[in-house]
Amino acid sequence: MTGTSDGGTTGGAPGGAEPGLGLAEEALAAAARVVPEGSPVVMVNLLRYREVADYGGSPAPAGGPVTAGASGRAAYADGYLPAFAAVAAQAGVELEVLYYGQVHAALVAPPAERWDDVVLVRYPSLAGFRRIVGSPAYAQQADAHRLAALADWRLVATSPLAPPS
């Protein structure tokens, strides 16, 4: 993973990428210190898409599934998600999408906070997730689509708890 002055990112950021969309190595390392080693982790993704995908002034990658002028949602669904799944398979990490849903209303949130979709993904471990996002394949095949697609993003690592009795 490569770090930058905007908090660090995996891969390179297109010219239009907003600061804060990257995965900071420091944040991943901090998570590794508190997430139980070898235990499943569920990543909560809050996504806000760009109206039009922004590949930094360049067209979408040639021969790829995203067409010029595509929406951020299309770049995420058609570019990022398949590329991420392929990189996960290459890394030998079996992931499970537990939930992928469109946000209709935020009932308890600051007035300006807005999200388009929520995605919950289960990984066998945080180490598996780190293998994916730290790989050269992720930087080459997936990250440009994520950065082009998203105007804002939150990624929260969680561990399952037993329901209270």
Domains in the chain, number: 1
pLDDT tens per residue, range 106-164: 999 998 899 999 999 999 999 999 999 999 999 999 999 999 999 999 999 999 888 89
pTM of this structure: 0.83
| Residue whose C-alpha is closest to residue 60's, from 147, 145, 142 | 145
- Is residue 9 one of the residues assigned to a domain? no
Q: Is 15 inside a domain boundary?
A: no
Q: Does some domain include residue 5?
A: no
Domain span at residue 59?
25-158
What are the tens digits of pLDDT across the range 2-26?
333 333 333 333 333 344 688 888 9
Listed in sequence order, the DSSP H helices in the chain are 25-34, 72-74, 81-90, 126-133, 136-141, 143-149
DSSP secondary structure of 99-134: EEEE----SSS-TT---SEEEEEEES-HHHHHHHHT
63 inside domain: yes
Is 118 part of any domain? yes
Instruction: Give the CATH number of the domain where residue 77 resides.
Output: 3.30.70.100
Q: Tell whether 12 is covered by a domain.
A: no
